Structure 1
Amino acid sequence: MDVIPRPEPCAPSSHLHHISSVSTSHPPRKAEVALSPSHPRATSCASSSSSTREKPSPLPSKHHSWLLRHARHTFLNVYRRLFGVVFALNVVGGVVLAWRFDGHDSNEFVGHLATATAANIMVALLVRQDYIINAMFRLCWMVPLSAPLRLRRIVTKVYEYGGVHSGAATCAVVWFTLFTGYITQDFIREHVREPAIMTTTYALLALLVLLVVTALPCFRFSAHNTFENVHRWGGWFSLALFWAELILFVHTQAPALGPALAKQPAFYFLLLSSLHAILPWLRLRKLHVTPEQLSPHALRLHFTTPMPLFVSLRISDAPLREWHSFACIPSRAGPTAGGSLLISRAGDWTRKTIAAPRPDYWVKGVPVTGVLCMARLFRRVVVVTTGSGIGPCLAVIQDIAGSPLLRGTTSRGTRCRVLWSTPTPLQTYGQAICDAVREVDSQAVIVDTRREGRPDLVAMAWQLYRAEEAEAVFVISNPQLTRKVVYGLEARGVPTFGPIWDS
């Protein structure tokens, strides 16, 4: 097991903490020797002596049957439960609407279908707004540490709010499909005579279906840039078509367009949706940065613009094409002094950025809060991360743990243990990042995968969780590994949280 060591030899002593390394491709070879806060600053990364090795504790069996485990933690996770709640509410609304509809006033019924579509589109847009996301997280932060642990664990799942977004968006397509069916029926019966309405209706339906299909995980992960462009441009065009649809439909019902529109609930839902689609772009601006080349695989962008704690920034070099989100690591002088973004090679855009960084990047909207900030609801947590995931971790744990490197923290005294698995941490990310990790957790478990092989993070996280009597585990890694560790620990009764990559 690798740690941030000191230049002199490290010998085990009574106040050093030992955690065994468990590798998926190699037998346990070395144990992690945690650094005492009293030891000198480290200048390199090296393995500890094999004399410190301890026999790893075996993982307990997973709870419940395979079917029940997957039903609870996969098929019916919080994201899908929220999706189900939204869908169920829409079903109830549909039943009430069908019960009240007497079958005579077709125009009134079609108007209700348009209202339901617009309402769901509004909900889908609002729940993705940065300021609403931040408000949800800040509301959850009000839960005190004295609250029951079960309540705090439930509240922490607020980051799965995307289930509301996808549920509302899917329901909007269902409602508009019904709307299209009734409009088509009226056109066949010659109750609707305007071809423009039919053209707009089918164009909008095709666009909404395209938005939903490209948002499916299988497509979103395999062609993420296409997904982003379809959602950006398709979303704008769908709002424009919806306005055209609403105006054409209302105009066929009443000669006075203005008063007739004002009586339509769909008008206000659509107006609110349009305002929120524009809102982030009103804050489009450039962020001036100072690039620091850490290695051929990692780049750190420093900026002096004040930023709140616990947030990430979306940056772009071409605002109409693609955006990438990175966590803000606060400056040692506090968040008002700016901070930095840690970027590692994970795709075409990051590879290009590391090779040729720019002096400024576009940002829009407001900085948004992420999942790891919910660690402040617990007294003791284990943070598991790999590679450049240490960036978002440092952005949060320096504050919640009350790091002496960071002034003006809002710490509630959360104790953080860090498990970081990455190839050649010192050479890739530099001494400053390694020092920051050690300042947060002097006993940080840092695995150099280039020398030790890939560890069994589930087993190691379990050991840390038990040894520290932690209340929760947070995982920041790539999608596949995050899902594996989260499921592996949740199936053993460990409250585990990690991003779900639903956007």
Structure 2
Amino acid sequence: MSSEPVPRGAAPAYDDAEKGVRELAPPVQPMPSYPADEKKDPFANEKVALAVTTIPVPEKKETPAAPPAKPAPKPKKKVSKWILWQLWFNTYRKLFTFCFSINMIAIGLAASGHFPYAVKYNGAMAVANFNFAILMRNEIFGRLLYLFVNTLFAKWTPLKFRLGCTSVLQHLGGIHSGCAVSGVAWLVLKMVHIYDARHINHVSILTVGLLTNVAVFLTACAAIPWVRNTHHNVFERHHRFIGWIALFLTWGFTIMSDIYDTDTQTWNLDGKHLVKQQDFWYVMGMTLFIALPWICTREVEVDIELPSPKVAVVRFRRGMQQGLLGRISRSAVKEYHAFGIISEGTHAKYHYMICGVQGDFTRSLVNDPPKTLWTRELKFAGVSNTSTLYKRGIRICTGTGIGAALSTCIQSPYWYLIWIGSDQEKTFGPTISGLIHRYVEPERLLLWDSKLRGGRPDTMKILKEVYKSWDAEVVFITSNYIGNSEMMQGCKEAGIPCFGTLWDF
């Protein structure tokens, strides 16, 4: 597929239309009717004479009627605090709370002298937590975990168990952040112990240990939800590059701490002693988990279709299984952005990503379409990858969310697609529309054009009707923050199992 020039006229925006705003034109007044042949009017002469002798009266101008007011928005439905609490304290926060609480109890016991092992091996406790944190974000581990669950527990296990599996897999980030924060706390405890015994420790160990603490702390701060969601490039650059610096410093801090003999205050350069230490192998594991995904990074040729100035459809070679996401960048190591993957299956010739124009990176794809992009050949699994666990399901999405939703409905005849957008065919182009109409049968497809239908639909009414008629077990949602929250709240209130978009909190 060759790149096409950007159309001169921008496609109509779908964001406002989806909010339900509809401009109504004032009604057209019918024109008054007159006789077909005015020349045969028998009173024509009298009218002329009257016009000559009568004082003209100025016509009264009618004030044009004001256009009808816009329909008032529907009052926002109140949601119970219990439902809001359940949605807030989700599996992510439960996993974070569990990991963090266990570590805080252990740190408290170690600080009070009731956990001798942790006092002696507090460095190992720190890097062990970092090991788990990094492992949870490793694409290879994630794919293996999804494969294990999807292979062993699909369809035959109780629905609650399968829902639990999906929830845990989707929220593995809770373990990542819980262990990472705990690792920082253990590292601080180790530094406190070294400082207390500074008279028997070498000053270089104190220095490198302090630098390691600072680097790890900055890496963690860069991943604070507010920074990650509002300043993505700041998060990525600092979390990645300062994180790599922290890894090198951790190597130095670990090796120096292990080979320095505090009894004789000399350096033990015997390698046999070093490889017997727990923290040495934990740091080796951290390094391996960080390096493995980068081994799969490649620069690949792409074709970019520009159906409208607000969307770029990027085409890659080879097919993909459903439920995967890919990271792409113009650089080998900077500014990677994740998008859902659309493909007919592993046998297909191509797969696609829909990149909606939102920031500098996606805007550059439209204004200056590249011939190549950097990507990781090994894609990571998203929540849709667990769709194979369920007998029947619903995939609802808005706008560019079709990129994460479509593969599931293309590759499985047991999934119903609901797509809410504005002028979808013109905005997203013939490639995406062709895939939908070619592989998704009309009986399991609902396309809502908010421009044509005058606004966004009552999504919960549609979801309840389709959930019942389709005999679905679960609903997967991909929408913006507000739409996602509304649908999640409505499904929770209606007792419909659902999973929505994550912003990694």
Instruction: Please give the range of the TM-score, normalised by the shorter of the 2 chains.
Output: 0.7 to 0.9
Deviation at 1:330, TM superposition (A): 1.6
Preserved contact between residue 312 and residue 325 of structure 1 (Cα < 8 Å): yes
Preserved contact between residue 316 and residue 352 of structure 2 (Cα < 8 Å): yes
Higher radius of gyration, 1 or 2? 2
The amino acid across from 1:436 in the alignment is L
> What pairs with 1:201-212 in structure 2 (closer than 5 Å)?
201-212=209-220
> What pairs with 1:312-327 in structure 2 (closer than 5 Å)?
312-327=325-340
Q: Identify which of 461, 464, 477 aligns with 2:463.
A: 461
**1:262-283 CA distance string (max 9 Å, x none):** 2210000001111221222222
**1:208-231 CA distance string (max 9 Å, x none):** 222222212112111011001111
Preserved contact between residue 220 and residue 239 of structure 2 (Cα < 8 Å): no
Alignment correspondent of 2:290: 277
Is 1:260 aligned to residue 273 of structure 2?
Answer: yes
Is 1:112 aligned to residue 121 of structure 2?
Answer: yes
Is 1:442 aligned to residue 451 of structure 2?
Answer: no
The amino acid across from 1:227 in the alignment is F
Q: TM-score, normalised by structure 1?
A: 0.78
> What pairs with 1:94-493 in structure 2 (closer than 5 Å)?
94=107, 97=110, 111-141=120-150, 142-157=152-167, 158-187=169-198, 190-194=199-203, 196-253=204-261, 255-257=267-269, 258-331=271-344, 334-364=346-376, 366-401=378-413, 414=414, 416-438=415-437, 439-443=439-443, 444-451=445-452, 452-493=454-495
CA–CA separation in structure 2 for the residues paired with 1:480 and 1:136 = 31
> What pairs with 1:8-47 in structure 2 (closer than 5 Å)?
25=20
3-state SS of paired residue (1:329):
coil
Deviation at 1:307, TM superposition (A): 3.7
CA–CA separation in structure 2 for the residues paired with 1:244 and 1:178 = 18
Deviation at 1:383, TM superposition (A): 1.1
Deviation at 1:78, TM superposition (A): 0.4
**1:456-491 CA distance string (max 9 Å, x none):** 433432332233332111101223432332233123
Preserved contact between residue 298 and residue 376 of structure 2 (Cα < 8 Å): yes
CA–CA separation in structure 1 for the residues paired with 2:427 and 2:500 = 24
Deviation at 1:427, TM superposition (A): 0.5
**Per the alignment, do residues 23 and 317 of structure 1 end up closer, same or farther by CA in structure 2, a change over 3 Å counting?**
closer
CA–CA separation in structure 2 for the residues paired with 1:61 and 1:363 = 44
CA–CA separation in structure 1 for the residues paired with 2:120 and 2:372 = 48
**Per the alignment, do residues 440 and 306 of structure 1 end up closer, same or farther by CA in structure 2, a change over 3 Å counting?**
closer
Deviation at 1:111, TM superposition (A): 4.5
Deviation at 1:288, TM superposition (A): 1.2
Alignment length, in residue pairs?
A: 428
Preserved contact between residue 281 and residue 365 of structure 1 (Cα < 8 Å): no
CA–CA separation in structure 2 for the residues paired with 1:465 and 1:276 = 41
**Per the alignment, do residues 466 and 23 of structure 1 end up closer, same or farther by CA in structure 2, a change over 3 Å counting?**
farther
CA–CA separation in structure 2 for the residues paired with 1:391 and 1:265 = 44
The amino acid across from 1:442 in the alignment is P
**Structure 1: runs of 5 or more not aligned:** 1-21, 30-58, 402-413
CA–CA separation in structure 2 for the residues paired with 1:461 and 1:474 = 11
CA–CA separation in structure 2 for the residues paired with 1:102 and 1:160 = 31
**1:23-50 CA distance string (max 9 Å, x none):** 86469x9xxxxxxxxxxxxxxxxxxxxx
Aligned sequence identity (%):
26
**Per the alignment, do residues 382 and 132 of structure 1 end up closer, same or farther by CA in structure 2, a change over 3 Å counting?**
same
3-state SS of paired residue (1:486):
helix
Q: TM-score, normalised by structure 2?
A: 0.78
Deviation at 1:100, TM superposition (A): 6.8
CA–CA separation in structure 2 for the residues paired with 1:26 and 1:363 = 39
**Per the alignment, do residues 73 and 237 of structure 1 end up closer, same or farther by CA in structure 2, a change over 3 Å counting?**
same
CA–CA separation in structure 1 for the residues paired with 2:393 and 2:376 = 32
Is 1:72 aligned to residue 86 of structure 2?
Answer: yes
